[in-house]
């Protein structure tokens, strides 16, 4: 993915999460908003920071980020 395409994706995902916040509440909303944040973080790591070219490191960062996001989603949906 090019950096310009990544930027467009990030802007679209940011607008989508803000639109979700204006529309809804509840557990589904929480999960979707955090999944959108997860996707944005992946784009920044993969394209802006260049991990898309180093699959081994990309997998490691994906694992760490995934564990963090699962913890956040878990804490957010039990409340």
Partner 1 sequence: MSRAQASGQLPGEVMMWVLILSELAVFGAGLVALRAAWLTDPEGFDAAQSHLNAAGAAVNTVVLVSSGWLAALAVEAREAVRARWLLIGASVLGLVFLFIKGAEYAAKAAEGISFETHPFWMFYYLLTGFHVAHVVAGVVILGFVAVRPAPATTEAGAQFWHMVDLVWVLLFPVVYLL
Residues forming contacts to partner 1 in the complex (CB under 8 A) are 3-4, 6-7, 10-11, 14-15, 17-18, 20-22, 30, 33-34, 36-37, 40-41, 44-45, 47-51, 53-57, 64, 68, 71-72, 75-76, 78-79
Cβ neighbours for 73, distance < 8 A, ≥ 6 positions apart? 30, 31, 34
Work out how close the CB of 4 gets to partner 1 at its nearest, in angstroms, rounded to a whole number: 7
Work out how close the CB of 26 gets to partner 1 at its nearest, in angstroms, rounded to a whole number: 11
Burial class (CB in 10 A: 0-12, 13-18, 19+), 16: middle
């Amino acid at each position: 993915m090019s950096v310009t395409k990544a930027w467009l994706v990030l802007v679209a995902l940011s607008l989508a999460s803000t639109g979700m916040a204006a529309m809804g509440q509840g557990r589904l909303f929480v999960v979707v908003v955090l999944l959108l944040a997860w996707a944005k973080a992946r784009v920044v790591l993969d394209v802006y920071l260049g991990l898309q070219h180093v699959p081994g490191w990309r997998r490691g960062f994906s694992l760490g980020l995934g564990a963090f996001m699962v913890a956040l989603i878990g804490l957010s949906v039990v409340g």
